[in-house]
Amino acid sequence: MNFHVLTLFPEMIENGMATSITGRAIEKGAISIEAINIRNFAFNKHQSVDDYPYGGGAGMLMQAEPVYLAWEAAVAGIRERRSHTATGEVHSGAGEIIGEMSPGIVIKEKNQVIAGEMPPCTIYLTPQGKTFSQEQAREFAQSEDLILLCGHYEGIDERVLEEIVTDYVSIGDYVLTGGELAAMVVMDAVSRMVPGVLGNDESAGTESFSAGLLEYPQYSRPQVWHGREVPEVLMSGHHANVDAWRREQSIIRTVQRRPDLLKTADLSNKEWNFVRQLKKQIKEEKNE
Ligand code: 6GU
């Protein structure tokens, strides 16, 4: 997975992703992150990247041209790398199409990419986008390259968005000062779906959220802390009982904290009855 981030603050992206699991994934080569500074593409008279909005109003807008040139540089880099990858893998013929690699890119001859290629997925991080989800993270993880566009000021000239953006993504209903943190949220969630990024220990529990239930509570040593005991069943060594207890705790927690998730949960009839019972109990407690 190769991330290409178009931003006015490349060091924020580089520093933010260099730590912990994503940092290790970069070192291992399971993911790569290229932060492209939009300011390097401000070739106009004043080397500016922002200007006042037509029609008036507060704040400044990012101009179309520097954003477009930064995007073109990202796409050119992707095509260049893909054409190299193609040589050696694809046997060249005399002009006819001889193979297909990296979705949408058709190889005609050695090192030659022809028309019909699709530009890579380009994500604009904006509170006006579709709310990001685990499902979307899984979809994005199928791409070999993702371009992420981070806005600043009051937004970006609409015309360049129309030309380059394939997906509008928000990370929640609140407003950030810029798209960088949102881009890092997306890259983190996508990265952990990429094979080789998580170790075996870390990948356990990955699917619980997508199954429509929250994770069960967990405990480690000591057995008593601040007078609080670890639930006895977890000390029993009885695996079936432990699994049953955890499943029940997941259901209780989901009903209490995120009842909206239950819509997508796959529960047995017995468990749905348990959910009804829990909901009734919560309602009664509220009325007391
Ligand atoms: Cl993706 N960008 C910005 N600037 N603010 C946000 C957001 C994104 N998602 C929620 N708030």
Q: Is 115 in the pocket of ligand 1 (CB under 6 A)?
A: no
Q: What is the dotted CATH code of the domain comprising 2-191?
A: 3.40.1280.10
Comparing C-alpha atoms, which of 42, 50, 32, 36 is closest to residue 7? 36
CA-178 nearest atom, ligand 1: 4
Locus of tokens 């970006």: 156
Locus of tokens 């009664």: 284
Strands 145-150 and 122-131: parallel
State CA 188 to chain mean position distance. 6
pLDDT at 116: 57
CA-171 nearest atom, ligand 1: 9
Which residues, in sequence order, are CB contacts of 14 under 8 Å at separation 6+?
A: 33, 35
With beta carbons less than 8 A apart as the criterion, state whether 13 and 33 touch. Answer: yes
With beta carbons less than 8 A apart as the criterion, state whether 127 and 154 touch. Answer: no
Look at ligand 1, atom 8, and give the residue with the nearest C-alpha: 126
What are the φ and ψ backbone dihedral angles of 181, each rounded to 5 degrees?
-60, -40
Q: Is 182 in the pocket of ligand 1 (CB under 6 A)?
A: yes
Pairwise CA distance, residues 44 & 281, whole Å: 66
**Ligand 1: distance of its center to the CA of 179 in Å?**
6
Which residues, in sequence order, are CB contacts of 222 under 8 Å at separation 6+?
A: none
Q: Is 183 in the pocket of ligand 1 (CB under 6 A)?
A: no
Same fold, 2-191 and 224-287: no
Look at ligand 1, atom 11, and give the residue with the nearest C-alpha: 175
CA-182 nearest atom, ligand 1: 1
* 147, β-bridge pairs: 4, 122
Which helix (H) or strand (E) segment holds residue 278: the answer is: helix 269-287
CA-151 nearest atom, ligand 1: 4
Q: Is 173 in the pocket of ligand 1 (CB under 6 A)?
A: no
pLDDT at 44: 87
Q: Is 149 in the pocket of ligand 1 (CB under 6 A)?
A: no
Q: Is 160 in the pocket of ligand 1 (CB under 6 A)?
A: no
Which residues, in sequence order, are CB contacts of 177 under 8 Å at separation 6+?
A: 152
- The list of the chain residues with pLDDT below 70 reads 86-116, 204-208, 210
Pairwise CA distance, residues 1 & 196, whole Å: 11
Look at ligand 1, atom 5, and give the residue with the nearest C-alpha: 176
Domain ranges of the chain: 2-191, 224-287
- Among 5, 9, 125, say which to mutate for ligand 1: greatest number of ligand atoms within 8 Å of CB: 125
Q: Looking at domain 224-287, does it have CATH number 1.10.443.10?
A: no
Q: Is 172 in the pocket of ligand 1 (CB under 6 A)?
A: yes
